Amino acid sequence: MVDKKGKPTPKRKEAQAKLNLSPLSPGASKESKKVLKAQTRIRRMESRAAYMRGEESALPARDKGPVRKFVRNYIDERRSFAEYFLVIIVVILFLTLIPIPAVQLLAIAIMYSSMIFIGVNGFLMSRKIKKLVTEKFPGEPTKGLGLYGWMRSTQLRRLRAPAPQVGPVTKK
């Protein structure tokens, strides 16, 4: 035979009130949650600003170190055809919408030739970056640096993250 528990079953409202719904901030009021959310947002914005400035402490592992900074600056002080590739592709997209076969063929030819040019240019740039890093930072591994530089060079200058620290060098 089962013994009775000796007390009435609690109402649902009472049982749920006893549950700890938020173990990290028990009983937090709406105002305190708002303040916490605002503080978190400010911290995130400060962290993002530090990342965009290129502060070493705010950079992710893939961007940290003097070698990566050297590669970023090397890429950022040069203009490249590759950084305008996305703009070229958008123009080509609109050219292919023109119902004249000659224009469409020309647009596709421009697209493929620019892809080949950017690929060859990226390969050569990758080799040059690795050579410069080996000269400037002897003993440092060069694995992945060429691709890192090439991918940075394919981004529009304004959209690069972290933001460029040096301006493009003008030739006289």
**pLDDT one-digit tens code per residue, 5-44:** 788 888 888 887 777 666 565 566 788 888 889 999 999 9
Are 94 and 151 members of one domain? yes
143 and 75 assigned to the same domain: yes
pLDDT recorded at residue 23: 58
**pLDDT band of 144, cuts 50, 70, 90:** very high
pTM of the model: 0.73
Same domain, 132 and 54: no
How far is Cα 76 from Cα 129, in angstroms, rounded to an integer? 13
Average confidence (pLDDT) over 79-108: 93
Count of the separate structural domains present in the chain: 2
Reported as a single tens digit per residue, the pLDDT across 94-135 is 999 999 999 999 999 999 999 999 999 999 999 999 999 999
Where does residue 145 rank: exposed (0-12), middle (13-18), buried (19+ CB within 10 A)? buried
Residues whose CB is less than 8 angstroms from the CB of residue 26 and which lie 6 or more positions away in sequence, other chains included: 20
Between 53 and 171, the more confident residue is: 53
Residue 51 domain boundaries: 30-59
Assess whether pLDDT exceeds 80 at residue 170. Answer: no
The residue ranges of DSSP E strands in the chain, in sequence order, are none
Residues 53 and 79 in one domain: no
Percent of the chain with pLDDT over 90: 64
**40 and 93 both lie in a single domain:** no
Looking at every residue in the chain, the average pLDDT score rounds to 89
**57: DSSP letter:** G
Contact partners, residue 125, CB within 8 Å, separation at least 6: 80, 146, 149, 150, 153
